[in-house]
Amino acid sequence: MPRPSLDFWFDLASNYSYLSVMRIEALAGRAGVAVRWRPFLLGPILDALGWEGPPFVVQKEKGAYVWQDMRRQCRKYALPWQQPSEFPRRTVLATRIAVLAADEPWLPDWCRAVMTRNYGDDGEVDSPDVVAQMLTALGLPAQRLIEEASSDANRQRLRERTQAARDLGIFGAPTFFVGEDMYWGNDRLEDAIEAARCAPQNQDIA
C-alpha cells in the first residue's frame, strides 16, 4: 500500500502559513503521512480575485485582530513571534529557491529558516545577501543555488506553480489537499492529516 500523503500549498510571506510550515512535518510524521511541499505566490492570485492585498491589510480592523491572533497562536504552539515591521514582506527569491528545491530533503529546513527569520526575528528574507547567509547556514552552496533559482527556467517554474494553485481553486494560504478535497487554513492542518491517514487511496493531484 502506498504511504498516505497530502499536498501542502503555502506562501512564504503568509503569516498563517508560518504556523503550518513550522508544525506540519512533525505532525504528519507521527501520523505516517507524507507531505508534498508546494510553495507558490499568493499575491498574483489575490490580484486576479480583485483584492488590493491580503484582506486583513486592506481592512485595518481585521488586521488588528489577526496580529492579536498570531500572538496567541504562536504562544499555543511554542513558536517564536515578532510582529513583522513590513507585511507582506517580499519573498520572491526565497520562494524561487523553494521551487528550485522541489523534493530535495532540505526544502522543509529552508522554508522553516525563512519563516523563522521573518516572523520570529522580523528580519528581511529576500535580498541575495540574506538568502546566501541562510543557505550557507544550512550547509548549502549558496551562490550556485541563487543563480539557478534566478534562471529563466526556474522563474517559469514558479509562474507555473502559482498558476497551478489558481487552477486548483486556491484562494488563500496555507491550503492542503487530500486527493481532490481541499482544507484551507492552519486550523485545518490536523483535519487534513487525519483525512490523509484514513483515506483508502491517495491520489497526487498536482
Tell me the pairing of strands 181-184 and 175-178: antiparallel
What is the spatial distance between Cα 113 and Cα 129, in angstroms, rounded to a whole number? 15
- Per-residue pLDDT at 206: 47
Tell me the pairing of strands 175-178 and 5-10: antiparallel
- Per-residue pLDDT at 50: 84
- Per-residue pLDDT at 71: 97
Which domains does the chain show, CATH number per domain?
Answer: 5-198 (3.40.30.10)
Confirm if 1 and 29 have CB atoms less than 8 A apart. Answer: no
The CA dihedral of 190, 19, 4, 184, to the nearest 10 degrees, is 70
Question: How does residue 203 score in pLDDT terms, banded at 50, 70 and 90?
Answer: very low
Quote the percentage of the chain above a pLDDT of 70. Answer: 94
Q: Tell the residue number behind the cell numbers 491572533, with chain if given.
A: 69
- Per-residue pLDDT at 62: 82
Interval 40-84: pLDDT, tens: 999 999 989 887 766 666 677 887 899 999 999 999 999 999 999
DSSP bridge partners of 5: 34
Q: Tell the residue number behind the cell numbers 507555473, with chain if given.
A: 160
Whole-structure pTM value? 0.93
Taken as a whole, the chain contains a residue count of: 206
Q: What is the CB neighbour count within 10 angstroms for residue 118?
A: 26
- What is the mean predicted confidence (pLDDT) over 162-178? 97
Whole-number CA gyration radius for the chain? 16
Q: Tell the residue number behind the cell numbers 517559469, with chain if given.
A: 156
Interval 1-16: pLDDT, tens: 678 999 999 999 999 9
Interval 72-106: pLDDT, tens: 999 999 999 999 999 999 999 999 999 999 989 99
Interval 123-145: pLDDT, tens: 999 999 999 999 999 999 999 99
- CA separation, residue 187 to residues 105, 162, 191, 195 (Å): 26, 23, 8, 14
